[in-house]
Structure 1
């Protein structure tokens, strides 16, 4: 069984040279402190488990990541905080070299330092698992906000306001309704 670590960004700085030949594993618990430490732009809260596996073959490292848990974001409709379950996997290949270089999924780490910081990579893995549309289940949105939204929506007329059409487009409006 893997030991679970409360995650700090320093724990996500992997000393590649310290990994033993073969498979290395660890489990990290990511929470609000992780998102605050990396100054995450879109996610500030969450509770996730990160399972990390590194396979070392000489100076080549195959890194596998599996993240699963819940992140908290604002609902697109009512703006109330909501939990979104997420799950994602990622792979990264690293090797030691003369300088730090990133090329897609291959990272070259300076052999003098030998440390690879994956904290931002893990954040991107989490962010990419979040659906584009964040909405509560039907009936779960804040009713006051939904009512206000319907009152001010472009589809509904506001009381006391007559619909005004730009005079330049009035002629086109007549063409559309002459059927």
Structure 2
């Protein structure tokens, strides 16, 4: 897989809607030096609507990404479903500062959509990756057991004697001022 596989030569396309499909795997993410996914199986589709003065692109991605849990480091399948809309307009100079509008120069004849597919998939990942077995209690892991064991406040409440004696002096100052 190469970046040029994601070039769409729009000058040769008739006005109207066109469909493009891409099977995304780990080789795609290697193009971007991104190695956080163990395995990737995503189908990305692009509805490419060519109009007289602009292009409307609608990206969709659905599939799974195998990643390691942030808590236990256990691998699991993270479902991915995402979409992205992009309008391509023609102007005097290239401008990609707006995330929803891309301006390409009038002489341009093709557009590479790889960066948009990459961003759509990476941004669809949850910020905290938690194995579904943790949430439903089915995951058995040594790391998870150790985390539960070391969790603060596991039933034992602090009593007055366990409090640092220096706090008592501070509490006395509070009560003396009233």
What TM-score comes out, normalization by structure 2 length? 0.76
Per-residue Cα deviation, 1:65-96 (whole angstroms, up to 9, x for no partner):
11100012221321111111111121100023
Trace 1:4-153 onto structure 2 (pairs within 5 A): 8-40=2-34, 42-43=36-37, 45-102=39-96, 103-135=98-130, 136-137=132-133, 138-153=136-151
Q: Which moved more, 1:11-20 or 1:49-58?
A: 11-20
Quote the Cα distance in structure 2 between the aligned partners of 1:121 and 1:171: 61
Could you tell me which runs of 5 or more consecutive residues in structure 1 were left unpaired when the two chains were aligned: 1-6, 158-163
Distance change >3 Å, CA 61–CA 145, structure 1 → 2: same
Could you tell me which runs of 5 or more consecutive residues in structure 2 were left unpaired when the two chains were aligned: 156-161, 174-178
* Structure with the higher fraction of residues in helix conformation: 2
> How many pairs align?
164
Instruction: Please tell me the root mean square deviation across aligned C-alpha atoms, in Å.
Output: 2.9
What TM-score comes out, normalization by structure 1 length? 0.75
Per-residue Cα deviation, 1:11-56 (whole angstroms, up to 9, x for no partner):
2233332332111111110001111111236445311001111111
Q: CA deviation at 1:10?
A: 2.0
Q: Which moved more, 1:130-139 or 1:30-39?
A: 130-139
* Structure with the higher fraction of residues in strand conformation: 1
